[in-house]
Every structure is written in structure tokens, then in C-alpha cells.
Amino acid sequence: MSADSTPLQSFAVINEAVQTLGNGGLVAFPTETVYGLGADAKNPEAINKIFSAKGRPSNHPLIVHLAAPDQLDQAQVDWVPVLAPWVRDLSEDALKLVNTFWPGPLTLVFRKDKSVLNELTGGQDTVAIRSPAHPIAQELLRQFKGGVVAPSANRFGKVSPTSAADVRSEFEDIPGLLILDGGDCEVGIESTIIDLSSGDHAILLRPGLITPSEIFAKTGIRVHLPGESNASEQDATLTRVSGSLRAHYAPTTPLRMYASGRVLDALSEFPDIKSCVAVAVWDSDSSLSEGGHPSVHFEEVIVPSDSAIFASRLYRSLRDLDQQGWDLILFPEPPVGEEWDGVRDRLQRACFGSGPSSSSQANS
């Protein structure tokens, strides 16, 4: 059954989703970042259903989603009982990050409690956890009263879904999949991932909406980039996390990025020049010119020059363009700056994985 007739889910539908999870089934649900394909984090058979449905390698770890504690008019929310069953130790910095950014698009990696299933950690000694900032996700997690693992609700390596319709189109061959419709995702790209498992410093494993500068400004915690000289030798063997493979988020249509004013350089990668090219152009730029290039038909697609709005629309744009029959999609290189690192990361991986052979690339 698909339960996606309205963005506002009834209690009955949430209850059905809770029962489905409890019975070892899969439920697709909205978060503020992208839609997730959820399963009971304590049920190895259910977790394996996720890997099977997505075509995801079993050593690629999943993120555990947890409900926020009921505040009950408390001045300070107590996250310790929520996290205690999952993590081995909770540092002061970890609690500071949790209290500042949860619920929200920030995933934290901890040394895992011995009870956490190897099926969800990819065999590592760490576990990735977040609390999503979406009312439907929170209601589902609260009523389920347990952790839910939920990678993006799409085939592995393909463009992440930001609407219930995207999920339906990805999993048409799973007619019984329960889909909770929460409208379009607000953030639009996956969460920032910070590794706290070394115990002595925080390492950025995946950029997202929440940047190291924002973390430092709000908590005083410095987030190190992988390989920084003052970070420990553990950086040499970074924790594996979701979305870290070179090819990911990829459309079937070839996708490339171009530097400002260098559209033709991007086209030169294709000696058998294609005839129909969709070119994304900043809303602040003047129109492209096709003069002198009669063999190529350009069509402009305006994209926002605000980083947060760009992120919220990125996957929607890639999905739509991928379905329109273009021979090539060109996107402008994002500007320099931390606030653009998340979308730059997604676009680079999408470019590498794109094209008709993207399925095999994503698995390599």
C-alpha cells in the first residue's frame, strides 16, 4: 500500500508505518534533507532488505535515526538516555553538538555500543546517528520507540529523492512499500557528517548545510578536515560513511561542470559533439550565446545563486533534466566558500557517476 495522498499524514498511517517497521518491513519517510528508506535498526533481516532494495553494497554503513526526547518544559533537553544504548562514550563536545544542532541535518559518528548490529555499521567499530528535523519523521520515530536506519530512498548511486513521487518512481517494483508523504524536502542534500570517534577532535567526513564555521561559531568546537596536519594519524583510514564513494547521486544523462564562461571547454570532452545540451546558468548571469556553434542546441536552465536555495533544488533539477532526453547536462562550478562545499561535493560525485554506465560505476 502507498500512503501518500496528502503531505499531512494521519495518525492511522503513522501507526501503520510503526507496525510495518515492527514487523520487519520497510517504510519510506521524509526528512528535512532527503527521503529515507527506513528499517528497524535492531532487526538484521530488515536491514538486509534495505541493501537488497537499493542494490547497496553491504559494507556501506547506514545512519541510525532517533527521536528527540520529549522536552516536558525542561530548560535543557537530556539526550543522554537517547544515545546511551547506541554509543560507547559521550564526550562533552558531542553533547554540545547534539544540544546545538539536533534535531537537524547533522550526523555524528561515535564508537558504537557492543549491542549495535554489524549489519548497519559495515563491520566498523563506529555508528553514525542523527535526529531528523521533520515532524513526520519525528512522529514516526517517537511512536516506534527505537532506532531506524534510513539511507536515501533510491537505487544505490542514483539521484537522491526529495519528494514522495521520487520514491514511488524509484521503487515501482516494490508495490507494497509504505511511503509517508511529507511534501518536498527543505534542505535538499544529505546531512553534514562529523566523526567524533577518535575522541580528541572532530573530523568532517561529508559536507552539508551545517558548515564547520557555523559549528565553531555556535559551539567553539573546531572541525578538522581530513588530512589536516594537526589532526591525528587516524585520518589516514577515515571512517566509511554514507555518500562517501566517488560516484554517487548520479543521473543517467552525462553530467559535467563548467567554469565561468567556459561552456565549450566542457563540451570538448565529447568529440562526437551532442546536439541537445541543457546548460544550467546562474540567475545572476546574462544569457548564453549559441553564435558560431550551429551543431549544438543549448537550452538554459536558471539555477539560484543562493547556496541554500541551490541545494534545496539540486536533486529536483537533476531528476527533471534526466527525464527530458538531453544528450548532456552542464552545471556551473559552485563558487568558492564553505557554504557551497555540500553541493560541490554532490555535483562532483554526480558527474563522476553520470552517464548510461553510471550503475556499474557506482558499484565500483
**Residues 282, 227 share a domain:** no
Residue 2 lies in a domain: no
Q: Distance between CA 60 and CA 38 in Å, rounded?
A: 15
Instruction: Print the domain residue range for 225.
Output: 11-237
**169 lies in the same domain as 231:** yes
Residue 1: inside a domain, yes or no? no
Same domain, 88 and 49: yes
Q: Give Cα 48 to chain centroid, integer Å.
A: 20
Residue 250 lies in a domain: no
In a domain, 353, yes or no: yes
Boundary (domain end) residue, out of 237, 265, 285:
237
Q: Domain check: are 192 and 338 in the same one?
A: no
In degrees rounded to 5, what are phi and psi of residue 172? -60, -25
**321 shares its domain with 178:** no
243 part of a folded domain: no
Q: Are residues 284 and 233 in the same domain?
A: no
Asked which of 209, 237, 265 is the last residue of a domain, the reply is 237
Do 145 and 294 sit in the same domain of this protein?
Answer: no
Q: Residue 109: what pLDDT?
A: 97
**Which residues of the chain, if any, have pLDDT below 70?**
1-9, 72-75, 229-237, 242-246, 270-274, 286-295, 357-364
Same domain? For 215 and 285 the reply is: no
Q: Are residues 332 and 225 in the same domain?
A: no
pLDDT at 120: 95
pLDDT of residue 239: 78
- Indicate which CATH number applies to the domain containing 308: 3.40.50
Whether residues 335 and 192 share a domain: the answer is no
User: What is the C-alpha to C-alpha distance for residues 246 and 43, in angstroms, rounded to an integer?
Assistant: 29
Instruction: Write the secondary structure of the chain as one string of H (helix), E (strand) and C (coil).
Output: CCCCCCCCCCHHHHHHHHHHHHCCCCEEECCCCCCEEEEECCCHHHHHHHHHHHCCCCCCCCEEECCCCCCCCCCCCCCHHHHCCCECCCCHHHHHHHHHHCCCCEEEEEEECCCCCHHHHCCCCEEEEECCCCHHHHHHHHHHCCCEECCECCCCCECCCCCHHHHHHHCCCCCCCEECCCCCCCCCCCCEEEECCCCCCEEEEECCCCCHHHHHHHHCCCEECCCCCCCCHHHHHCCCCCCCCCCCCECCCCEEEECCCCHHHHHCCCCCCCCEEEEEEECCCCCCCCCCCCCCEEEEEEECCCHHHHHHHHHHHHHHHHCCCCCEEEEECCCCCHHHHHHHHHHHHHHHHCCCCHHHHHCC
The pLDDT of residue 235 is 46
Rounded Cα gap, residues 107 and 304, in angstroms = 26
Tally the domains of the chain.
2
For residue 249, being part of any structural domain is answered with no
Q: Is residue 3 part of a domain?
A: no
Distances (CA, A) of 141 to 29, 45, 146: 11, 19, 7
Domain end point (choices 237, 263, 284): 237
Measured distance CA(235)–CA(266) in Å, rounded = 34
pLDDT at 248: 78
Q: Are residues 260 and 233 in the same domain?
A: no
- Can you give the pTM of this predicted structure? 0.90
61-90 pLDDT, tens digit per residue, is: 999 999 999 875 566 789 999 999 999 989
- Give residue-wise pLDDT tens across range 298-313: 889 999 999 999 999 9
What was the pLDDT predicted at 2? 45
204 and 328 part of one domain: no
Q: Is residue 178 part of a domain?
A: yes
- Domain with residue 141: its CATH number is 3.90.870.10
